Structure 1
Amino acid sequence: MSKVLIVGAGGVGQVVAHKCAQVADVFSEIVLASRTESKCQAILQQITELAAADSARTLPKMSTAQVDADDVARMTALIQREKPDLVLNVALPYQDLPIMDACLATGVDYLDTANYEPPEEARFSYTWQWEYQQRFRDAGIMALLGSGFDPGVTNVFTAWAMKHHFDEIDTLDIIDCNAGDHGMPFATNFNPEINIREVTARGRYYQDGEWVETEPLSESRSYDFPDGIGSRKIYLMFHEELESLVKHFPSIKKARFWMTFSDNYLKHLEVLQNVGMTRIDPVEYQGQQVIPLQFLKAVLPDPASLGPLTKGRTCIGCHITGTKDGKPREYYIYNICSHEAAYQEVRSQAISYTTGVPAMIGAKMMLTGAWKGQGVFNMEEFDPDPFMEALNQHGLPWHEKFL
């Protein structure tokens, strides 16, 4: 029986709160905190209303709080007041370090779903958080980084493959397909600012001990997805899990990350880039400093509003080649998630669902002691088996096949 403080009340925070509330035997008390407390209150009301339809269901104790996660002193005060066993960070990536500082100050374990990113630069790296290793170890507490889907589940998929199916991994391709449609002219399925910064950054992949850079979205190919999704065009990007996976599995010779985008999305993004709306440096407008991308975020649809509109499925997985017992092997492990089913369960689309469920499972691993340690850890550093079992239990069943 544990108490968790969830920081962030966006689309992912909504899913995390719902999923934690479904496992009251682990999460006996939930505090949901955000800059805007009314968002937290709305989510808890939603959880209560959905639970009312199930007379056998017992909800944990739930409450809300207001906090500015950029402010270490305020975060520290909130943690000291609530005394959680774990802080589950699903706020913005810019806020990872302040929240980690507050956990250090209070001696409380930490979990997040995305690596730290400086506001002034679209740079994705675990470097800043790995630097906390000794401080967390000295404090006797644990930080689990990237407990979403990608990063997160994809790291665990790779660890599972290495444990059960390979002696050495030669190539790793992480492939993320959203085959859903929300019908909007242009909208992002998660935080627009983070989404656009990620997509417009230079691509990068790992090959033979070196990182190779590419122009944004300049490399693409077709990939045939399972379960009737069919052939889709995938684009090479950089994603942070590559950085940790090649560190922890040194046999990997080549590691890449791919994602699908619709022609409509790419057309709108190109126009927005051409007119300067994706810039992350401030411009002066009527005597005020405005960051164009942050203004664009304010006028685009809130990803949390896309749940009832989005139809179709996601498919995220790892395509791996390597050797087992001296023989070559090719293998694919993946999850299919329905946007409609996610909305039916937690009033969210599948993009938030596939991030929020693994965040809850990562927290469950820590709070039950299935995963434990002192210091800063990535997902692939622990035994994948209990996490893989929990994916099947909590709404993200996985499939594997040899090719």
Structure 2
Amino acid sequence: MGKVMVIGCGGVASVAIHKICQNSEVFTELCIASRTVSKCDALKEKLQKTTKTNITTAQVDADNVQELTELIKKEKPEVVLNLALPYQDLTIMDACLEAGVHYIDTANYEPEDTAKFEYKWQWAYRERFEQAGLTALLGSGFDPGVTSVFSAYALKHYFDEINYIDILDCNAGDHGYPFATNFNPEINIREVSANGSYWENGGWVETKPMEIKRVYNFPEIGEKDMYLLHHEEIESLALNIPGIKRIRFFMTFGESYLNHLRCLEDVGMTSIEPIMYNGQEIVPLQFLKAVLPDPSSLGPRTKGKTNIGCIFIGKKDGKEKTLYIYNTCDHQECYKEVGSQAVAYTTGVPAMIGAMMVMTGQWKKPGVYNMEEFDPDPFMDALNKWGLPWKISENPELVE
């Protein structure tokens, strides 16, 4: 069918690349590009003998539009799957426009100097992608991503209008370390230490970090403490799902994680403000990232499950209705299949599926779009096929 270029070679990229190689009918060619080309070469070496997909590798600096553009023009992929850092979204979008190639990512742009998660920077590209006849698909991970597709699916098949959405992200995995993060520590800690917020009655309600706590009994896992965070899909769902009155996002955290995080915050280790140390400028959070376990090393150690899903309350034929759509994933099963734990797996699989939707033309229209703006059915079918089967509960326990 065609060629995909993956930019990035971290944990999520590794999962997406494994899945691309399993899906050779759609992805006949793959170019893996990263700053550290040795990582790309190692993955090629591991996977080339297992797949019909022809794999090539390249070195690229994702902060450099000219370098990216030249590489994309040389490799001529149909789609670029951006699995680099959120700080690099705009340079990669610029390069895709310049080279005339469709764009997919898993996380919205955020500037390096402020922990600010919003879509305005990428939505500003709408007209340029429309005029170029190119599709940019934003947030094709799990949350954002699959949670947005769940919302579109619920609206299409079960509701006339959806009034309340609670997105619940539970990771009940245990890696045995007193403190480690399951994905890029820099992004993870920025997300958790930022103010929380939720959407209600047409506007944002801001909360202090970790101010709102609830306990939820997750299917296949049991009761877990979860905390309200700001999360980017709230912003697009509030615009695109008719009838919405409130959207909240909750994520589970254990007491040990939170105690360590509070301590690190108190001593200034989570700061993104540069400081001088031994005549050199360093960012404390980037230094902390360097001393923490690499998330990709957690795979073989992590036991337990994740459960991510959405609880919907709305109306069908004039009556109130509730629905819970969710996926559970086993860390050890994921590791057995692709050598990564479930947090990377649940993001990497939808990244491949998003690229497949655009590549096959099932999701393709000029412009910049969020996941819920396309027909959810082919994506939902692909989740079942490619390792993230979902379940529906008609009478879920609700979050107060």
* TM-score higher than 0.5: yes
Provide the residue aligned with 2:335 in structure 1: 343
Alpha carbons 2:107, 2:140 under 8 Å: kept: yes
Distance 1:270 1:259 in 2: 17
Provide the residue aligned with 1:156 in structure 2: 149
Paired residue type of 2:163: D
Query: Which string of whole-angstrom CA distances, capped at 9 and with x for unpartnered residues, describes residues 91-138 of structure 1?
Result: 000000000000011110000000000000000000000000000111
Is residue 19 of structure 1 aligned with residue 35 of structure 2? no
Superposition TM-score, scaled by structure 1 size? 0.97
Paired residue type of 1:40: C
Provide the residue aligned with 2:398 in structure 1: none
Q: Post-superposition, which runs of at least 4 consecutive aligned residues in structure 1 deviate over 3 A?
A: none
Tell me the number of residue pairs that the alignment of Structure 1 and Structure 2 aligns: 395
SS of the residue corresponding to residue 356 of structure 2 reads helix
Is residue 352 of structure 1 aligned with residue 355 of structure 2? no
Provide the residue aligned with 1:43 in structure 2: 43
Provide the residue aligned with 1:281 in structure 2: 273
Is residue 90 of structure 1 aligned with residue 88 of structure 2? no
**Unpaired segments ≥5 residues, structure 1:** 52-57
Is residue 367 of structure 1 aligned with residue 353 of structure 2? no
Alpha carbons 2:48, 2:55 under 8 Å: kept: no
User: 50, 56, 67: which is aligned to 1:63?
Assistant: 56
Paired residue type of 1:297: K
Paired residue type of 2:305: R
Distance 1:210 1:250 in 2: 15
Counterparts in 2 of 1:317-332, with a 5 A limit? 317-332=309-324
Provide the residue aligned with 1:131 in structure 2: 124
Distance 1:274 1:194 in 2: 18
SS of the residue corresponding to residue 244 of structure 2 reads coil
Distance 2:45 2:294 in 1: 19
Is residue 118 of structure 1 aligned with residue 146 of structure 2? no
**Unpaired segments ≥5 residues, structure 2:** 396-400
Alpha carbons 2:27, 2:53 under 8 Å: kept: yes
The Cα of 1:390 is off from its aligned counterpart by 0.2
The Cα of 1:186 is off from its aligned counterpart by 1.1
User: 318, 321, 334: which is aligned to 2:326?
Assistant: 334
Identity, in percent, stands at 61
Query: Which string of whole-angstrom CA distances, capped at 9 and with x for unpartnered residues, describes residues 268-326 of structure 1?
Result: 10110000000001011111111000111111111111111111110000011011000
Distance 1:233 1:351 in 2: 18
User: 177, 189, 212: which is aligned to 1:219?
Assistant: 212
User: 181, 184, 189: which is aligned to 1:191?
Assistant: 184
Distance 1:347 1:87 in 2: 23
User: 262, 271, 280: which is aligned to 1:270?
Assistant: 262
Provide the residue aligned with 1:398 in structure 2: 390
Is residue 260 of structure 1 aligned with residue 252 of structure 2? yes
SS of the residue corresponding to residue 365 of structure 1 reads helix
Distance 2:178 2:200 in 1: 37
The Cα of 1:11 is off from its aligned counterpart by 0.1
Paired residue type of 2:14: Q
The Cα of 1:46 is off from its aligned counterpart by 2.5
The Cα of 1:47 is off from its aligned counterpart by 2.1
Query: Which string of whole-angstrom CA distances, capped at 9 and with x for unpartnered residues, describes residues 69-105 of structure 1?
Result: 0000110111011011000000000000000000011
Provide the residue aligned with 2:299 in structure 1: 307
Provide the residue aligned with 1:105 in structure 2: 98
Alpha carbons 2:88, 2:109 under 8 Å: kept: yes
Provide the residue aligned with 1:384 in structure 2: 376
Distance 1:38 1:285 in 2: 30
SS of the residue corresponding to residue 369 of structure 1 reads coil
Is residue 9 of structure 1 aligned with residue 12 of structure 2? no
SS of the residue corresponding to residue 308 of structure 1 reads helix
SS of the residue corresponding to residue 166 of structure 1 reads coil
The Cα of 1:171 is off from its aligned counterpart by 0.6
User: 286, 290, 308: which is aligned to 1:298?
Assistant: 290
Query: Which string of whole-angstrom CA distances, capped at 9 and with x for unpartnered residues, describes residues 53-79 of structure 1?
Result: xxxxx4210011110000001101110
Query: Which string of whole-angstrom CA distances, capped at 9 and with x for unpartnered residues, describes residues 330-362 of structure 1?
Result: 110000001011001100000000000000001
Distance 1:323 1:250 in 2: 11
Paired residue type of 1:63: T
Distance 1:93 1:46 in 2: 27
The Cα of 1:184 is off from its aligned counterpart by 1.1
Superposition TM-score, scaled by structure 2 size? 0.98
Between 1:212-221 and 1:35-44, the stretch displaced more is 35-44
Paired residue type of 1:128: W
